[in-house]
Amino acid sequence: MPVFFSAHSAGLIMAVSTMIYNRFPATLNTDVTRVSVICARQVGVDHHLLDTKKLSSQGKRLSESLSKLVQLTIETPYRRNLRNHNWVLVNEIVEKHNAPAKSPKEVIADKWRELHGSMDWEDLLDPLHPLLRREIVKYGEFAQATYDAFDFDSFSEYCGSCRYNRNKLFEKVGLDGSGYIVTKYIYAMSHIEMPQWLEKSHLLDTWSKDSNWMGYVAVSDDVETCRIGRRDIVVAWRGTVSPAEWYEDFQREMEPIGAGDAKVEHGFLSIYSSKSKSTRYNKSSAAEQVMKEVKKLVEFYRRQGEEVSLTITGHSLGGALALLNAYDAAVAIPDLPVTVISFGAPRVGNIAFRDELQRLGVKTLRVVVKQDLVPRMPGVVFNEALQLFEEITGTLEWIYTHVGVELKLDINSSPYLKRRFNPLGFHCPETYLHLVDGFSSSSLTFRSDARRDVALVNKCCDMLVDELRIPPSWYQLENKGLVRNEHGRWVKPTRDPEDIPSPIGEENAFPSPNSDPEKLSRIQH
């Protein structure tokens, strides 16, 4: 298994490589969509509570250079002026210690289609509607969970896996109140010739020499289904953390996808679609694993007479994989509402790929930070801007283009963040979530009633102003995972059997479509 870097180092590598309160517009459908059968018999929705008040040699040399760059601190002189109101920020943080960290959930059963892009988020982004803000943060936290639960320890025999089994995942990462249940883990591999300096591993005997945990599939429980107006299936994809993955991110070649002119970046497609019969976890590709689970869930809940949606999320590389996943889902299940909410995602394919996703009805909301470099990749020069010259050049099938609607955020909007150059911090998912939580509109300041814990920003980077006294990169296992044994010596603990990766367990993760609905209901509660 290749060596694994920390999440923030991987964010730096990829970065170098590669919205006040507003009423919904009158176009919103005020008719309540049909809620699930289970929901109907459990909860009576009180409608007056609904808010009326939102590789080649060149590749090798590049990789080697970047590996050295990881050891450097890239920083320009600190130009922020210390101002009196920074001490006011400290007082605000202290006061928020006694306030809930999250906004209360509101019923969105009659608004979910608009919130998920049926009108391409028209009049919902600037200013950012509070209900949409909460939805974006919700899915962003699902993406963040893929980092929080990932085993980065290169001295661990389970390096590259999820530290917890799927029944404990949300509890361990603080999402036990999310209203969703994890049903399936996704594993991915990549068919590339790795340079020798990347192939080395601290351990020879590992859980898998070929595969990494790449994300998971989850589904809303009965209570959450009532609140949001349909049964929501979520797929969350992890961003780049392993050398094999960011080595693939450097590939700039396109290759066809589907039967038309659509093409996507080779490296992203390789991670998404690679498989090998000789492996334990990738006898089927990540694409096949996720689509098998999505089809099974859709069939199961439709058998119960429920309305179903699919929401795919991911950060960085995970945002790229989310688009590939959305393409597959829209082709395989044409009548399924598919929405992508991505964070700091790069471009994935050409204009034809973008047009094909639009034709298939996939709705995409891209959250980007102005200072983040990753969304500019690939295609820093040759990108969608060249469409202005299409009459002269003709159709350009080889240029990269973004997909969907963009919500652009700015580091400078938050008084809590440092202003110095920090590509690592600019790209961190927690920075994204902080900025979404505080965004009102492009013409207004950072909202004072933002609920999300500011300290989370520094989980894996150093972005908070020093006056807040939050240490950088504070998120880690207690004692870095070491425990004392019965003799008083510090050792690496053995994993609980239920947390050890098991390909057989994954195959039987979710009840089959023929399972007893009452049994499934008990599992969910």
Residues catalogued as catalytic: 316, 372, 427
- End-to-end C-alpha distance for the chain, whole angstroms: 38
CA distance 421 to 75: 5
DSSP string, 233-267: EEEEE----SHHHHHHHT---EEE-SSSS-EEEHH
* Of 430, 481, 433, 436, nearest in space to 459 by CA: 430
Helix (H), strand (E), coil (C) string for 304-353: CCCCEEEEEEEECHHHHHHHHHHHHHHHHCCCCCEEEEEECCCCCECHHH
Token pair in block for residue 56: 């080649």
Q: What is the DSSP string of 379-413?
A: -SSSSGGGGGGHHHH---TTS-B--SEEEEE-GGG
Looking at this protein, which amino acid is placed at residue 402? H
β-bridge mates for residue 150, sequence order: 162
Residue 308, judged by CB atoms within 10 A of its CB (0-12, 13-18, 19+), counts as buried
Q: How far is CA 229 from CA 125, 354, 475, in A?
A: 22, 29, 35
Q: Name the maximum alpha-carbon separation found in the chain.
A: 77
Distance of alpha carbon 348 from alpha carbon 317, whole angstroms: 9
Measured in whole angstroms, the distance separating CA 115 from the mean position of its chain's CA atoms is 18
**Measuring CA to CA, how many Å separate 7 from each of 38, 240, 316, 370, 424?**
40, 8, 11, 21, 9
- Rounded to 5 degrees, φ, ψ at 194 are -80, 140
Give rounded-to-5 percent helix, strand, coil for the chain: 40, 15, 50
Residues 420 and 79: beta-carbon distance below 8 Å: yes
Write phi, then psi, for 186 (nearest 5 degrees).
Answer: -115, 135
